[in-house]
Chains A and B, each alone.
Chain A
Amino acid sequence: MFRSERTQDREKEEIVEQTVLRKYNSYYRMAMSFVHNGADAEDIVQEGAYKAIRNSGSLKCIEYAESWVYRIMMNEIYRRLKKRELKSIDDEDFPEPPVEDRYEDVDLIKALDSMPENDKAVIQLRYFEDLTLDEIAYILGENLSTVKSRLYRGLKKLRCEMDDAGLKGG
């Protein structure tokens, strides 16, 4: 009994570590889209990696490891944003990311960026990280209908047509 508990824990730890090592850039990009600062985004991923491994014992089901780690990373991002709010850091301290590509549409980027946090998270997790709405609901700790509303609202803001195919993917 004792040994197998340890083996189980080790398994979870390994899976979590593999997941982090495979997906760290995804977390980094998500963090960047919120904090707009490389150093902060790196901190978030590093802290999230530490917490994920430290608490890997509380992962209930190995199949959900990826979502589980995402959740930790999203929480870390929100924690960092909250800290900023409390310190009331000026927007001037964090200049908008430079628009390098002349094909980039500044208005669109701004539109996505200025959405309520969870709306933005839903759009990004769905269309940039290719997650299902169920996974997104788990990661954000919200129910499916809330996630759907956020998706609709976000897409509307981006002036996209509601794509039936895209929504069926939930």
Chain B
Amino acid sequence: MPENGESILELLRKHYEKPSMSEEAVSEMKRRIEKAKKEKRAMAKRRRMRGWTIAAALTLAVLILPNTSSSVAQAMANIPVLGGFFKVITFRNYQYKDERNVADVVVPEIRVEEKSDDSVSEKGKKTADEINAEIREITDRWVEEFKANMEGEGYQNLMIDSQVIAVTDDYFTLKLICFWAGGSGYEEDHFYTIDLKTGERIKLADLFKDGSDYKRVISDNIKEQMRKQMAENEGVSYWLDNEEYPEWNFNEITDDTSFYINENGEIVICFNEGEVAPAYMGTVEFTIPKEVVADIMK
């Protein structure tokens, strides 16, 4: 047993320094590093796009894309009528293909059947115009970005499409899906929910009694679900309870958080990639059980 303090530490240091990482483990580490970089780029890109949406609205840059390749002709009659007077038509308004760049943009439009001038269809027309304008702005912005990227050397793939989801007697939701791939994939969804009884667009707040803290109630339930999923499945991870980077943590939904109402009448909260979880988790949805919000709903 050495008496001298220094050689005790030298001894322990030799023992400490024995292990080293295997080559495969180092390669895997490098892969995770690359993944982290990709996720960051996708998130930063999304933030920049948000900025551009606001800028576009302020400068009123109006892009008029001709509806020349409209495929609406195909039997308007075959398109289901929602709530008695809404129809969602789609048309392919931008298509492009070369060795490195591929785009297929199918834009939805909400049309209101010409009916009597009852107030519901009047409101419906206003709602449709508003939503259609927003959708055009979003898709125009994506197309502009796509065109700008063509000058670069990478490859890219833009796909925009839509779906009518969750149709009930009371609501329907139009989902706009924007998917962009260029090295890594990135999806961004937008949801528009319309109340078929009033013809108006529904915001989350509209479903709840005045003054109720619906955001907190819903967010608490989401956090419960997140924790449960993470406990049950190693592969699942959300930005929650992270002590080192609390600024990333999910805190509360906002008035603008995406949602729709499913066929069971339940509220489903939707987050885009990178909003509440690392990008590899993709877009995530949480169905809020009716009991949770029963006493604060209108």
Contact = CB atoms under 8 A, between A and B. Distances in A.
A49 B29 contact: yes
A108 B12 contact: yes
Interface in A9-47: 9, 13, 17, 20-21, 24-25, 28-29, 32-33, 38, 41-42, 45-47
Interface string A89-117: 00000000000110111011100100000
A20 B9 CA distance: 26
B114 interface: no
Given A28-B19, A45-B25, A20 B33 contact: yes
Contact of B32 (A32, A47, A163): A47
A75 B244 contact: yes
B5 A45 contact: no
Contacts of B30: 21
A162 B44 CA distance: 51
Interface residues of B, number: 38
A46 B25 contact: yes
B35 interface: yes
Contacts of B294: none
Given A72-B244, A127-B13, A25 B21 contact: yes
Contacts of B35: 50
A42 B12 contact: no
Query: Interface residues of B: mostly helix, strand, loop or mixed?
Result: helix
B236 to A, nearest CB: 15
A105 B1 contact: yes
A24 to B, nearest CB: 6
Contacts of A29: 16-20
Interface in A142-170: 155, 158-163
A51 B8 CA distance: 35
Given A24-B29, A105-B11, A128-B13, A13 B37 contact: yes
Nearest to B21: A28
B176 to A, nearest CB: 27
Given A24-B26, A72-B244, A108-B11, A124 B33 contact: no
B21 A45 contact: yes
A53 B21 CA distance: 19
Given A104-B15, A108-B8, A159-B8, A42 B21 contact: yes
B6 interface: yes
A8 interface: no
B290 interface: no
28 contacts: A6-B44, A24-B21, A24-B26, A25-B21, A28-B20, A42-B25, A42-B28, A45-B25, A46-B28, A46-B29, A46-B32, A47-B32, A50-B32, A50-B33, A50-B35, A50-B36, A51-B245, A54-B36, A54-B40, A100-B18, A101-B14, A101-B15, A104-B11, A105-B2, A108-B8, A109-B15, A158-B12, A161-B4
Instruction: Identify the 5 closest CB pairs spanning chains A and B, nearest first.
Output: A160-B5, A53-B36, A50-B32, A54-B36, A42-B25
